[in-house]
Amino acid sequence: MAKSVQERSAKAAQKRLAVAEKELRHKVRPGIEQAMERIRLRGQVPIISEVLQIAIMKMDLMADGDLIEFLRYPRHEIVISEIVARDFHDQSMRDLQKDPGDEFIYPKSEFS
């Protein structure tokens, strides 16, 4: 005889208690959800929770330096070259000489 829904639910609850399973909830924006789905499909993993568990287990095996680099949030870095900084400084000085305004304070610079 087949078990009722309540019996199956009770058995599943007992199993979760036995293995100390814990439910974690995490809110994500659509872009993250889409990325997770692409990863799931590329990795041929049937459910997203498995993808997350596998990722956590593999990250736990990483060396500290590798993990720190992996978890570093990608940010755009603006780097101004010395040539651009010098050109900007020179043009600013020319503009100030043309129209110094009411008060003129020379900016401190490594180029002057």
Please state the φ and ψ torsions of residue 79, each to the nearest 5 degrees. -120, 120
pLDDT in tens, 26-78: 899 999 999 999 999 999 999 999 999 999 999 999 999 999 999 998 888 88
pLDDT in tens, 18-27: 988 888 888 9
Provide the residue type at 91 as one letter: Q
Distance of CA 40 to the CA centre of its chain: 18
pLDDT of the residue at 108: 72
Q: Where are the domains of the chain?
A: 27-74
Alpha-helix runs per DSSP H in the chain: 5-18, 30-42, 48-61, 64-71, 82-98
> In the predicted model, is pLDDT for residue 112 greater than 60?
no
Say if CB 38 and CB 26 are below 8 A apart: no
Q: Is the pTM of this model over 0.75?
A: no
Cα 96 to Cα 112: distance, rounded to the nearest angstrom? 14
